A and B are shown apart, each in its own frame.
Chain A
Amino acid sequence: MKAYKVYAINDGTVIDHIPATRALKVIDILSLENEGILTIGIGFSSEKLGKKDIIKIENKYLEKEETDKISLIAPGATINIIKGGKLTEKRKIERPEEYINIVKCLNPNCITQHADIETRFKVAKTSPFTLRCHYCERSVEAGEVEIL
């Protein structure tokens, strides 16, 4: 039997295979701070990643549109939806076409830094993965983005 270091949940969402130390960032992006009981595991050993983080969110089933928001920081994460103690859905993260209020525009002369508006980025190129600001039109590679 597999010994769980983070206790199992009966109903809710498990986000597994988060690159180590990014769990808190994931919670931030998904605004999970005030969503009831969260169990956070940081730095577990993982065959795939070496080290990984896990988040368990009780009594909340995250939708695909929500979890896709973490594709920039945890593209390899897996989402497990658990209902009545059973795994009812398992899915991977996919990249959305548009990132709304997730990425900060690094251009100091961009309107998003001067007006109280949501940032919007569209995928400009897939290899290397590059986003373009909807407003100032500057592009930024995924490795250089700053998450809001």
Chain B
Amino acid sequence: MKFKGRSIISIRDMDKASLLKIINTAEEVKKGKHKNCLKGKVISTLFFEPSTRTKFSFESATQYMGGEVIGFAGSEYTSVKKGESLADTIKTISGYCDVIVIRHPIEGAARLASEVTSVPVINAGDGANQHPTQTFLDLFTINELVSDLSRIKVGFLGDLKYGRTVHSLAYALALFKTPLCFISPKLLRMPVDLLDEISEMGSKTKEYEELEELEEKLDILYVTRIQKERFGDLQEYERVAGCYRLTPQIVHTLGENIKIMHPLPRVNEIAPDVDTMENAIYFEQAHNGIPVRQGILGLITGTIA
């Protein structure tokens, strides 16, 4: 699988070999290999909707590797304000940089961007659709803990209906045939068609409504936020959100070795006193965004083979 010049738009464009290549490259970067490999390269970060964490993560990844960053966030880019089309903006910026990182509130915007330019495009989030580098860093974090992605059990907790990170990570793990458990309120279950697809890919799946019903030991529990906006009834929201809140006691009952992941930002779904437990790895997970994004940038610019 050739990465040079390739756009990174969706987890659906990936196969197992590409994911392993990304994981291995990030490992090398984390160990100190490929230093300054972005020297002389310019990365643009076009954030049509603000996401400070993601933008910083791409920018510091670039700068640590000796590259330069240009970009904008929100509607501060004057041509966009004047009504310039996305395609025109992308074609123009393409002359100024070696990689375009785009975040856009409209689904499919990054795919369209990649079709109007020869500069590789990285999708840093297109509405509710995809955010592939988040999935890569999640996968990388899990892979750091285990020797074989197919021999662990991963659980997902919270909003599994709208959670983009959950959908993409579950899909990626299904490429490794990892057994998966989904724990959510009825209202926020995994979409049925995705669940079917994942099973067909070879992952054993199981659904639960409560953590207490869980019959098996998990290696990883991936927690997501339940958003108030998803509920018509505030009382119902508070009841449900309360049931899916992780405390040190609950973590203990889940098993000594379980690791807790979360895409962050976290609100109430994980009690702050879980943070100091050895089980909590969500901050390391976020920090892994740097070597993973560095690896990707190196691969698609061709400075890492």
Q: Contacts A115-B85, A115-B112, A137-B10; is A109 near B106 (CB within 8 Å)?
A: yes
Q: Contacts A136-B107, A137-B129, A137-B130; is A111 near B10 (CB within 8 Å)?
A: no
Taking a contact as CB atoms under 8 Å apart, the answer to whether B87 and A115 are in contact is yes
Taking a contact as CB atoms under 8 Å apart, the answer to whether A107 and B107 are in contact is yes
Q: How far is the CA of A114 from the CA of B111 in the complex (A)?
A: 14
The answer to whether B127 has its CB under 8 Å from any CB of chain A is yes
Q: How far is the CA of A115 from the CA of B107 in the complex (A)?
A: 11
Taking a contact as CB atoms under 8 Å apart, the answer to whether A111 and B111 are in contact is yes
The contact sample of 29 A-B pairs, CB cut-off 8 A, is A109-B106, A109-B127, A109-B128, A110-B106, A110-B108, A111-B86, A111-B106, A111-B107, A111-B109, A111-B112, A111-B126, A112-B108, A115-B85, A115-B87, A115-B112, A117-B112, A130-B193, A133-B108, A134-B111, A135-B108, A135-B111, A135-B112, A136-B107, A136-B108, A137-B10, A137-B108, A137-B129, A138-B107, A139-B193
Interface bin, chain A: 10 to 19
Which partner residue on chain A sits nearest B200 by CB separation? Answer: A125
In the complex, which residues of chain B have a beta carbon less than 8 angstroms from the beta carbon of A107?
A: 107
Taking a contact as CB atoms under 8 Å apart, the answer to whether B106 and A114 are in contact is yes
Which partner residue on chain A sits nearest B109 by CB separation? Answer: A111
In the complex, which residues of chain A have a beta carbon less than 8 angstroms from the beta carbon of B82?
A: none
Q: How far is the CA of A107 from the CA of B106 in the complex (A)?
A: 10
Q: How far is the CA of A83 from the CA of B129 in the complex (A)?
A: 50
Q: How far is the CA of A129 from the CA of B160 in the complex (A)?
A: 25
Nearest-Cβ distance from residue A115 to partner chain B, whole angstroms: 6
